[in-house]
Structure 1
Amino acid sequence: MWKQAIEEALHKTKLNIERFGDQFPHVSENDTYQLNPNTEWTDGFWSGILWLSYQYSGDPAFKAAAERTVASFKQRIENNVALEHHDIGFLYSLSSKAQWIIERDEAAKQLTIQAADVLMKRWRPKGQYIQAWGPEGHPDNGGRIIIDCLLNLPLLYWASDVTGDPKYREVAEIHADLSRRYLVRGDDSSYHTFYFDQETGEPLRGGTHQGYSDGSTWTRGQSWGIYGFALSYRYTKNPLYLETAKRLARYFFERLPEDNVVYWDFNAPVNAETKRDSSASAIASAGALEILEHLAADDPDRAFLEEGIQKSMTGLIKSYTSPKDAQGFIERGSYSVRGGAAPDDYMIWGDYYFLEALVRLEKGIHGYWYE
């Protein structure tokens, strides 16, 4: 089942190389991806799909297309295009760092270190956190962290490993600790976002930007936490991160609906109109696969996680994969239900994590969050 799903995804990717040209897919409208000239926070996912496709198949067409995206990311950083946010890890881990991991290309390595330096500009020493969005001192976003940032931290851990400079790792660990303390609730659910006083770092309140309500659990946010804390454990071996990843995963998989693909928020009222988020199920599956890498054979959580992955991935394949020549891999992702932005469409990150989970299940190929 995994192999067939991979082959279908690679077939669509080959078609998409021609369809997209030098543009980058973001989310879809009427089953067609909206393209941009490498200006969105999501553009690394297309690069990551191309690298995974090449690593799995060995087809040089995927390699050539992936290398072209890295050239675009080099221009983006040189021209400082749309980089004033924390999603630098999403952009460069899956593009230039992927090229370094696969090809040991020195220029790709140096570009990725440059990207880590850009991310470090988001560090706010007064508050001791990485600011998610906007310029320093912004009245709404100046003191805000969001759970998504956990997937950007691997860029900093990696930068310390390859440069020998501890500053990147120190910032990543401080931010991971803060996220664990304030974004993860006592019942193992999560806030999407948390606010701090910009001058003192005093915690103010939890909230949401994309979830159903401030106190609800946005499913994609929960999945970012699953994968993000598991990756922080890989780099630091801090057992608290692995424990937290397992807790978040248990909360997620215990709440799967009948078809095993989650709704957009665990607290949203469920009716015939309630939106799904297939991308959250894909991310959670990929994150749970990472957790399994660190569990002993007799760990009591192993069987539960394996069952959750099996249910989620089977549910995606059976009920949510797109037609043969479609642009996206999985249907019914949601970008921003609250904001009315692509609430029931293809998401390029959903496609990426779906393929990442599949190739890990089939061939043991992981993504490009670590070497």
Structure 2
Amino acid sequence: MFKDAIRDAIAKTLANIDTFGEQFPHVSRHGKYELIENNDWTNGFWTGMQWLCYEYTQDERFRQAAVKSVASFEERLRQHVVLDHHDIGFLYSLSSKAQWIVEKDEHARQLTLQAADVLMKRWREPGGYIQAWGQKDDPKEGGRIIIDCLLNLPLLYWASEQTGDAAYREVAITQAEKSRRYLVRGDDSSYHTFFFNTATGEPIGGATHQGYTNGSTWTRGQAWGIYGFALSYRYTKNELFLATSKRLAKYFLAHLPEDNVAYWDFHAPVTADTYRDSSASAIAAAGLVELLSHLDEQDPDRAYFQDMLLKSMTSLVQHYATLGEAEAEGLLKHGSYYVHGGLSPDDYMIWGDYFYLEALMRLDNGITGYWYERS
């Protein structure tokens, strides 16, 4: 079943390369992707899909499209187009770092290191954190961290390994530790965001940006945490990060509905009209594969995680994927972007498509994505 899903996804991605041209898919409306320029936090996912397909097939058409896309990211960095946020890792880990990992292209490596330097400019003292959005003195966004940033930290860990400069690693570790302390609640749920006093660094409190309420659990944020803390464990071997990934995973899995695919928030009232977020389950699935790679056979949670991973992926393939729908542009239906912001068309999300494909390939043949160097 997973091999069939991969073959279907590869065929759709190849068709989309011609359809999308030099633009980037973002989210869809009525089954058609909205195409944008390379100016959003989501653009790397499309490039990452091209690299995944190239690795799986060795089809030169995917490589050519991916290399052309990386050139767009180089131009974006040169002109500094909408890079005043922390999502630099999403953009450059899946584009230029992917090219380095796949082809050992030195120019791509240097471009990725430049991107890591851009992310380092988000570091804020005296609080000691990476500010998510806005300029340093932004009255609304100053002092904000968000759980999504855990997937941007691998860019810094990698840069430290490549250069020998411990500063990248120290920032990444500090951000991960701060996220563990302040974004993860005592019951193993999570805040989307947390605020600190910009002058003193004193913690203020947790909040949401895309969740149902400040005290609710936005499912995509919980999924970022599962994957992000597992990746921080890979780089640091800090057992607290592994334990936190497991805690978040248990909470996520225990609160899934009967078909094992998440609603957009675990605390949102469930009615016939409540949005799902298939992208949250896709991210969680890829994160579970990463988490399982760090658990030995004697771990008491291993069998449970493995069983739930397969149930969730099976449900995604059988009930949410566009498998067999030849004209579909996206891979996963029923993704949600930003429900309260009116940006949830209940349709395709390019990050959902990426993590769905990554999870499938990790399960099928061990292609791991581009968050870390492969041994």
Indicate whether the TM-score tops 0.5: yes
Give the equivalent residue in structure 2 for 1:305.
305
**In the alignment, what sits opposite 2:169?**
169
Deviation at 1:37, TM superposition (A): 1.4
1:128-143 pair list within 5 angstroms = 128-143=128-143
Identify the match of residue 326 of structure 2 among 319, 324, 349.
324
RMSD: 0.6
Deviation at 1:336, TM superposition (A): 0.4
Larger mean Cα displacement after TM superposition, 103-112 or 291-300: 291-300
Give 1:198's aligned residue: 198
Q: Identify the match of residue 360 of structure 1 among 358, 362, 366.
A: 362
Q: Note the C-alpha offset of 1:305.
A: 0.6
Q: Does the 8 Å contact 2:278/2:335 carry over to 1?
A: yes
Cα shift readout 1:177-223 (whole Å, capped 9, x = no counterpart): 00000000000000000000001110001000000000000000000
Q: Distance in 2 between matches of 1:188 and 1:221?
A: 12
The TM-score normalised by the length of structure 2 is: 0.98
Compute the displacement of 1:324 (Å).
Answer: 2.3
Q: Distance in 2 between matches of 1:33 and 1:81?
A: 22
Equivalent in 341, 348, 351 of residue 343 of structure 2: 341
Find the aligned partners of 2:54 and 2:39 in 1 and give their Cα distance: 24
Counterpart in the other structure of 2:12: 12
Q: 2: distance between equivalents of 1:181 and 1:260?
A: 28
* Distance (Å, rounded) in 2 between the aligned partners of 1:183 and 1:239: 18
1:121 aligns with 2:150: no
3-state SS in 1 of match to 2:27: strand
| 3-state SS in 2 of match to 1:260 | coil
Tell me the SS of whatever aligns to 2:260.
coil
Do the aligned residues in 2 keep the contact of 1:336 with 1:343 (CA within 8 Å)? no
**Distance in 1, Cα, partners of 2:173 & 2:260:** 33
Gaps of 5+ in 2: none
In structure 2, what is the equivalent of residue 29 of structure 1? 29
d(CA) in 2 for partners of 1:324 and 1:303?
A: 36
**Aligned counterparts of 2:344 and 2:56: Cα–Cα separation in 1:** 30
> How far apart in 2 are the matches of 1:341 and 1:148?
18
Secondary structure of 2:340's match?
coil
Tell me if the contact between 2:229 and 2:242 (Cα under 8 Å) persists in the aligned partners.
yes
Match of 2:224, SS?
Answer: helix
SS at match of 1:195: strand
The equivalences for 1:1-371 within 5 A come to 1-322=1-322, 323-371=325-373
CA distance in 2, matches of 1:317, 1:11: 16
Deviation at 1:311, TM superposition (A): 1.1
Q: What is the letter of the counterpart of residue 44 of structure 2?
A: G
Contact 2:336 2:347 in 1 (8 A): yes
Q: CA deviation at 1:343?
A: 3.7
Is the 8 Å Cα contact of residues 29 and 345 (structure 2) preserved in structure 1? no
Q: Unmatched 5+ residue regions in structure 1?
A: none
The residue type equivalent to 1:277 in the other structure is D
1:30 positional shift = 1.4
Q: CA deviation at 1:111?
A: 0.2
Give the distance between the partners of 1:301 and 1:62, measured in 2 at CA: 38
Equivalent residue letter for 2:170: E
TM-score by length of 1: 0.99
Q: Report the 3-state secondary structure (helix = DSSP H, G, I; strand = E; otherwise coil) of the residue aligned with 2:132.
A: coil
How many aligned positions are there?
371
- Look up the equivalent residue of 1:232 and give its one-letter code: S
Q: Hey, what's the Cα distance between the residues in 2 that align with 1:5 and 1:315?
A: 12
Does structure 2 retain, via aligned residues, the 8 Å contact 1:93–1:369? Answer: yes
Instruction: String of CA shifts for 1:126-159, please: whole Å, max 9, x gaps.
Output: 1100000000011111010000000000000000
Identity of aligned residues (%): 65
User: Quick one: distance in 2 between partners of 1:134 and 1:28?
Assistant: 26
AA aligned opposite 1:2: F
Amino acid at match of 1:251: Y
The structural deviation recorded for 1:342 is 2.7
Q: Distance in 1 between matches of 2:254 and 2:56?
A: 32
User: Residues of 1 paired with 2:334 and 2:263: CA distance?
Assistant: 10
Report SS of the residue matched to 2:316. Answer: helix
Contact 1:260 1:311 (C-alpha < 8 Å) held by counterparts = yes
- C-alpha displacement of 1:7: 0.4
Contact 2:125 2:201 in 1 (8 A): no
Distance in 2 (CA, whole Å) between partners of 1:65 and 1:166 is 34
CA deviations 1:324-345 (Å, max 9, x no partner) are 2211000000000111103411
4+ long deviations beyond 2 Å: none
Is this contact kept in 1: 2:16–2:329, CA < 8 A?
yes
Deviates more, 1:69-78 or 1:252-261: 252-261
> Separation in 2 of the partners of 1:343 and 1:304?
33
The residue type paired with residue 128 of structure 2 is: Q
Q: Counterpart amino acid of 1:288?
A: L
Q: Is the 8 A contact 1:283 1:354 kept in 2?
A: yes
